[in-house]
Amino acid sequence: MTERAFKSSKPAPQGKPGANRRSVQGNGEDVKPGDRIIVTIKRIGINGEGVGYYKRKAVFIDGALPDEVIKAQVTKVEANYINAKLTEIEKKSPDRQKPPCPVYDECGGCQLQHMTYPAQLGAKEELVREAFRRYAKLEDVPLRPILGMDDPWGYRNKAQLQAGLHNDQMITGLYSAGSHRLIDISGCPIQHPVINEVTAQVKDILTRLHIKPYQERTRKGTVRTVVTRVSKQTGSVQLTLITATRSLPEKERLIQTIRRELPIVTTIAQNINHADTPLVFGNETIVLWGGERLDEQLGELRFSLSPRAFFQLNPEQTVKLYNAAKEAAGLSGRELVVDTYCGTGTIGLWLAPLAKEVRGIEIIPEAVEDARRNAQLSGAANASFFVGRAETLLPEWVKRGIRPDVVVVDPPRTGCDRALLSAIAAAKPARLVYVSCNPSTLAKDCQVLLQSGYRLEWLQPVDMFPQTAHVECCALLVKK
Active site residues: 437
CA distance 419 to 210: 53
* CA distances for 78 relative to 58, 299, 314, angstroms: 10, 48, 37
CA distance 264 to 299: 23
CA distance 333 to 326: 12
Contacts of the segment 5-13: beta carbons below 8 A, 24+ positions apart: 5/62, 5/63, 5/85, 5/86, 5/105, 5/106, 6/62, 6/63, 6/64, 6/86, 6/105, 6/114, 7/105, 8/87, 8/88, 9/73, 9/85, 9/87, 11/36, 11/73, 12/36, 12/73
**Listed residue (281, 280, 252, 279) closest to 268, CA to CA:** 252
Give me the DSSP letters along 28-79: STT--TT-EEEEEEEEE-TTS-EEEEETTEEEEETT--TT-EEEEEEEEE-S
> In sequence order, what E strands does 57-203 have?
57-61, 69-77, 81-91, 158-166, 169-175, 182-184
Neighbours of 303 (CB within 10 A): 24
